Chains A and B, each alone.
Chain A
Amino acid sequence: MSSSIEQLAKEFAPLAVKEMVQLPPALVPKPAPAPKPAAAPAAAKPAAVPADPSVVGRVIPNPPSVAPTPAPKPAVAAAPKPAPAPAAPPPPPPKPVQIWKFEDKGLHLEVTVEPANVVAAAEIMDRHGFAIDAVTGMDWPTQGLLEVIYDFLHFQTGERVAYRARIARNDPKIATISKVFPGADWHERETHDFFGINFVGHRDLSPFMLPDDATYHPLLKDFKA
């Protein structure tokens, strides 16, 4: 199983983002100590966003300052702070192509791909005989990002692969993978309902779960019912 996962990881590598945006500040409890084998480029700028945990996510009432593109933000990152060397070292921040232990995460492989590459990634999944599990979104208002998460599973090997793409929150557009996996059609429609993400090329993005006249997107963190 692991060998095929490594193979997949290799195939995904060109599609993955070059640098990870560390999403919730809490995800990076304290920058990990210096020696990091593969994640060096990604780990170099973990503290791009304020490390104050109280600023996280949905507690922010006003619309967050939206960065036009997600990438430049970590570029102005501060230098890694010296590690306080706690008793239990915090886990390293995830890499763009991250192989997990299934027992820990319920996943074998997690990839963060460039938004432009989602269809190519779906084709990789299709080629390897994976079945679509789910497509969903995630809102990171502080970073001005929306995330689309694609879950896949393999019926024969039981492998679980997820990949995610991060897009700007003020212009959430991403290509649809429903041409590759027709089952993504409904998932994407639902994600459009809940997050307002526009799936370019989707055949019908009219409200699905929500009422026909719904103009709101309830799973956005600044939505208050």
Chain B
Amino acid sequence: MNIPQLIPVGDPSAETFTINLGPQHPATHGVLRVKLEMDGEFIVNAQPVPGYIHRMHEKMGENRTYAQYLPNTSRIDYLSAMTYTHAFVGAVEKAAKIEVPLRAEYIRVITSELNRISSHLVGWGAWIMDLGGFTPILYAFDDREKILDLLEAITGSRLTYCYYRFGGVCDDVDQTFIDGCKAFVPYMRERMKMYKKLVTGNIIFRKRVEGIGPISAEMCRKYGACGPVLRGSGVNYDVRKAEPYSIYNQFDFDIPVYQECDSLARYLVRMDEIEQSLRIIEQACAKIPEGPFQGKVPRILKLPVGDTCFATECGRGRLLVRITSDGKEEAYRIRLRTPCFTNLSLFEEASQGMMLADAISLMASLDLVIPDIDR
């Protein structure tokens, strides 16, 4: 891998200036601030300053019952709300030993994967927009609209779904939804071909991402990076395979892994993941059984004392929910370990010596959602 060595000319400590990227900046997709110490166009040090939309979700978890807290989880990473509620619901189910009917698990897998595709589409479009290409994001939103319509029909909401319930899902899906998903799969595959022609093969795009922002597997390990960032560094880790939850072990899908460690690898991982999600949806739609969609759950839900950890693979990586219960209706402590937090934490080290525009490309390749960092 030929990574261009961009070393600032001269003594970097002699003449640097500080520049504030954000909190209101087009490339930070929200209110993230990055304190950049610059030597001309080269970054000497980049220190992210999160916390502008910190909402203390973890404290809220201590003041609410588990059911009341459930909608909170979909507000953390608003782009992959399904997988976030899945993590919380899964943790509670694991602690309370609630059985989930098979149909509900299928519905969860289908909706989670649809949500993952829509999340990747937004990340994809926003990335190209950060690189100065405006059109792809609107194409992405066009396709995402199809997913949102499907999910809206069954959940009633378009962004912050609160569809999963302890022991199942809120409402059953109908045949229209299943047919819609079945129709969506070939449609999206066609669109992926178009995306490949429009963006992946574009020479300017390749030059902007190829060899830019190297993040080694060792660095991922030290920082706990996850999701496409990790898989773009050649580590075959996906929570769906490593800690199989729900019924993911019943499906045939691959974990896309690229060894290049650069932004392009992360990009390709995301594009391939869309394809793999389509595969899962296809299989799940074919096999979804009849039956109840909601298991038996006690009216007053109290978890047994102790810790329970549950992780899911969200659009941006591994979300770990750790619930500590003292046997009451509310949790004693809820810890949310979010993927963007750890992914951004390596930005400081990874961006050293880069040019500003490349750092933007690197930041976009991390696919950040700011509420997910700040929680």
Contact = CB atoms under 8 A, between A and B. Distances in A.
Interface of A: 24, 26-27, 29, 53, 56-58, 91, 94, 102-107, 110, 129-134, 136, 138-139, 149, 151, 153, 155-156, 158, 160, 162, 181-183, 185-186, 194, 207-211, 218-219, 223, 225
A105 B309 contact: yes
8 contacts: A104-B94, A106-B94, A107-B307, A132-B342, A151-B309, A182-B223, A183-B223, A209-B375
Contacts of B333: 138-139, 219
B327 A134 contact: no
Contact of B346 (A130, A183, A207, A219): A183
A211 B23 CA distance: 14
B332 A24 contact: yes
Contact of A27 (B305, B309, B345): B305
B297 to A, nearest CB: 19
A106 B58 contact: no
Interface stretch (B99-107, B235-243, B358-366): B235-243
Interface stretch (B49-57, B118-126, B167-175, B203-211): B49-57
A120 B66 CA distance: 36
B337 interface: yes
Interface string B318-354: 1010101011100011010100011001100100000
Contacts of B220: 131, 155
A156 B341 CA distance: 22
- Residue among A104, A106, A208 having the largest count of chain B Cβ atoms under 10 Å: A106
A162 B341 CA distance: 19
Interface of B is mostly: mixed
B326 A24 contact: yes
B32 interface: no
B149 interface: no
B311 interface: yes
A26 B305 contact: yes
A98 B300 CA distance: 30
Contacts of A158: 237, 241-243
Nearest to B53: A209
Given A131-B222, A155-B242, 6 more contacts: A105-B94, A107-B307, A110-B307, A134-B224, A186-B342, A209-B374
A134 B305 contact: no
A183 B345 contact: yes
B24 to A, nearest CB: 17
B322 A102 contact: no
B72 interface: no
Nearest to B241: A158
B62 interface: yes
B91 interface: yes
